[in-house]
Structure formats: C-alpha cells, structure tokens
Amino acid sequence: DAERGNHPTIVKVLWDNSKSKAGEEFPHLVYLSREKSPRHRHNFKAGAMNVLTRVSAVMTNAPIMLNVDCDMFANNPQVALHAMCLLLGFDDEIHSGFVQAPQKFYGGLKDDPFGNQMQVITKKIGGGLAGIQGMFYGGTGCFHRRKVIYGVPPPDTVKHEMKGFTILQGAAGQVWELKGVDRII
C-alpha cells in the first residue's frame, strides 16, 4: 500500500533478540524505512540516520548501531567481530566514532570506466585523510557509536526493553509494521 516517495515510517523486526541453540544471544535485526512525503525534504542519509537513532533508542538503546542499505550484504561472516575489535580496541572510546567497510560493487564492467569502485577515494584519498582525523562517513556499511550520533553520551542508567509498536508510534510518529517478510534473502 505504500508508495515509494510517499509513506510513513515502516518498521519490521526481522530477527528478535533471541538465543541460539548453544545459548548465544543475537542482536536485533530491524528493517527500517523512514517516512517520506512529497511535501517535506527527507534529507537522504541524514534523515535515515535520524530515524535509525530514534527507533533503535526506543527498541534497544544498544551502544553500537549498524547502518546498511537494504541491497547490501557482508561477504565476510566475521565483519561484526572485526568492527567491534576496531571500535573497542582503543583505550579511550573518544578515539573511535565509527567503523565502516569500503563499498564494493559486483557485476560491473571489468575496466570500471565510470569509477564505480571508487578505488582512488578509498585507497589514495582515504589514507591521506588520516591527517584530518580520518575518513568521512560514506553512507552505508558502518558501525556507529550511539554517543557519536547523539553528540553527548546518553544516560547509562536508562535501560530499554523491547517495546511494542504502540510505544514506538509515540516516539517516531506514524509507523506501519511491515508484514509478510519472513526471511532475509
């Protein structure tokens, strides 16, 4: 029922915070599409990050958030482990705000005449940006510290349990629950 450029916020919990057979806990996996209206600017990635921050704060308030586009995948099953090692490997957390993987495109032309792989940016310019405190946020494939998005640390004493859509609607405005998505493709 939703149109591409005109719909309320859509939230679907694809994977609830449950345990495996071995007793290991898994994080939430949530599909989120921000509200779009032809009457209002949606601010592209900044708008998506604002909604991600608000919705995830109501649902889990976890200290780390993962932001990926809906058509992306990780070709390394240990990507979360590597990102956590990088984020948590500093003596002081103020030295790392986010960890992102370079975006790669598959199935393109062999010689890449349009520069889709962005090799110069990631390999040459990215290394040079270390002098001005590192690489810029590329828009996807990124683990963020929640404190960095907020600008100030949220109170550590506040703990959130998984909440229903009625509470979520109060925090995020009009929200639709996406039904019919049973598995990740």
Tell whether residue 45 is among the known ligand binding residues. Answer: yes
The edge-to-edge listing of strands for the beta sheet with 142-145 is 64-67, 142-145, 98-100
Tell whether residue 69 is among the known ligand binding residues. Answer: yes
CA distances from 4 to 37, 43, 110 (A): 9, 15, 32
Q: CA 35, 40, 45, 49 torsion: positive or negative?
A: negative
- Cα 74 → chain centroid: 13
> What DSSP element (H or E) covers 80?
helix 79-88
**Cβ–Cβ under 8 Å, residues 55 and 139:** no
Structure-token match 């629950």, residue found: 177
Q: Which candidate, 30, 34, 58, 36, places its Cα nearest to that of 48?
A: 34
**Cβ–Cβ under 8 Å, residues 138 and 125:** no
Annotated binding site for Mn(2+): 45, 69
Annotated binding site: 45, 69
